[in-house]
Amino acid sequence: MSFRVAVVGATGMVGREMLKVLEQRKFPVKELVPLASARSAGKTLPFAGGEVTVKEVSAENFEGIDVAIFSAGSGPSREWSPIAADKGAIVIDNSSAWRKDPECPLVVPEVNLDAAKNRPKGIIANPNCSTIQMVVAIAPIHRVNPIKRIIVATYQAISGAGADAVDALEEQRKGGKGEALGGQLAGNLLMHWTVQEDGYYQEEELKMLHETRKILGDDSIRVSPTAVRVPVVTGHSEAITLELTEPMDVATARGLLEKAPGIELVDDFKNGVYPTPLQAAGTDPVYVGRIREDVGNPGGIQMWVVSDNLRKGAALNAVQIAEGLLL
């Protein structure tokens, strides 16, 4: 079998990564239809040893599409995802538009692929990049010893904010202003996301609360998140502390993680071996290291988790959903 695949937002950083992932994983593409805004129509993109021409998003361009993968932001997704679904496509959306919708499953294939089979609106939501790598790392533990509380601090790469933000960081490193970042990130840390009405939590942080509960199917899990932007181009890092229903030792946790799909252990801290964003960039696994007992809460587990936010945190996860449903 082969499929007609549309990628909406194909000219963006994640969209280009989606084309790369489709090619590298040899997804059976009969025809690739790259879609974007009118200003990008006519551009060409490399794919499968040749080039494909970008078309403007329109209803007619979803005719006969089997899978439509969206990475064009919430506004375009709300407008065009239902249209693509009505045309018969399986829609996999990378924006935040559908994540809270009870009729749209929120899916990480290693954790809850079966949820993708029940999609009343024809739309499957891709979680936030930080949530994806975290749930891949904690789900193997949660399945055998339910998690009561997660304390997580994220150290997020600037590529998650798009190409203009990456260029702005490089400008700042050279002594320029890099105004697209809204502050000085080179040699510094920022917390520039949408602040919620209470002024305490940011949207980026609350995504981790709501999305983790939905994916794991447990609204009782308490999540205490802090999101930080760091001067790294690609690769999100997370410091995670788990409070569990029953005490767990490190050997048990490590044994569960080393058998789990999508995870690669990099865990020999006494010899200076642990995951880094540089190692993760351009690769597919969720890397886990520094697995240790929580000294402040004996029986709890702490870990350090790193993954490429453009791949597993976005493009790869979406393609894996399509693979899981169709192949």
Q: What is the pLDDT of residues 11-70, one digit of tens each?
A: 999 999 999 999 999 999 999 999 999 999 999 999 999 999 999 999 999 999 999 999
Q: Do 293 and 220 form a contact (C-beta atoms < 8 A)? A: no
Mean pLDDT over residues 183-192, rounded? 96
166 and 220 belong to one structural domain = yes
- pLDDT value for 287: 98
Looking at the 3D structure of the chain, how many domains does it have?
A: 2
User: Which CATH number belongs to the domain containing residue 8 in this structure?
Assistant: 3.40.50.720
60 and 134 belong to one structural domain = no
Q: Do 137 and 210 form a contact (C-beta atoms < 8 A)? A: no
- pLDDT value for 291: 98
284 and 182 belong to one structural domain = yes
Q: How confident is the model at residue 156 (pLDDT cuts 50, 70, 90)?
A: very high
166 and 118 belong to one structural domain = no
- Would you state the structure tokens that stand for residue 289, as one six-digit string? 């290291």
At residue 247, does pLDDT exceed 90? yes
Q: CA 151 → CA 46, 143, 148, 156, distances in Å?
A: 41, 18, 10, 16
At residue 225, does pLDDT exceed 80? yes
213 and 88 belong to one structural domain = no
- pLDDT value for 199: 82
202 and 291 belong to one structural domain = yes
Active-site residue 129, yes or no?
Answer: yes
- Would you state the structure tokens that stand for residue 235, as one six-digit string? 């690769």
48 and 161 belong to one structural domain = no
User: Which CATH number belongs to the domain containing residue 244 in this structure?
Assistant: 3.30.360.10
- pLDDT value for 196: 84
Active-site residue 104, yes or no?
Answer: no
Using a pLDDT cut of 70, give the percent of the chain over it: 100
77 and 215 belong to one structural domain = no
In this structure, the chain runs to a length of: 327
Instruction: Tell me the pLDDT tens digit for each residue of 84-130.
Output: 999 999 999 999 999 999 999 999 999 999 999 999 999 999 999 99
Q: Which residues contact 164 (CB under 8 A, 6 or more apart)?
A: 180
Round the average pLDDT of the chain to a whole number and report it.
97
- In the chain, the amino acid numbered 325 is L
| Number of Cβ within a 10 Å radius of residue 190 | 16
How many angstroms separate the CA atoms of 197 and 200, rounded?
8
Q: Sheet of 147-156: strands edge to edge? A: 222-229, 147-156, 236-244, 301-307, 286-293, 263-265
The pTM of this model reads 0.97
| Number of Cβ within a 10 Å radius of residue 261 | 12
How many angstroms separate the CA atoms of 93 and 86, rounded?
15
- Single out the catalytic residue among 104, 142, 210, 236: 236
- Single out the catalytic residue among 129, 142, 192, 210: 129
Which residue range is the domain that position 181 belongs to?
A: 130-309
- pLDDT value for 255: 98
Residue 265 β-bridge partners? 288
220 and 186 belong to one structural domain = yes
171 and 98 belong to one structural domain = no
- pLDDT value for 26: 98
270 and 145 belong to one structural domain = yes
Q: How confident is the model at residue 197 (pLDDT cuts 50, 70, 90)?
A: confident
Mean pLDDT over residues 77-90, rounded? 98
Q: Do 42 and 95 form a contact (C-beta atoms < 8 A)? A: no
How many angstroms separate the CA atoms of 316 and 19, rounded?
10
Q: Do 128 and 96 form a contact (C-beta atoms < 8 A)? A: yes
Q: How confident is the model at residue 216 (pLDDT cuts 50, 70, 90)?
A: very high
196 and 319 belong to one structural domain = no
| Number of Cβ within a 10 Å radius of residue 230 | 17
Start-end of H helices in the chain:
13-24, 74-86, 109-112, 129-144, 163-173, 203-216, 250-258, 277-280, 316-326
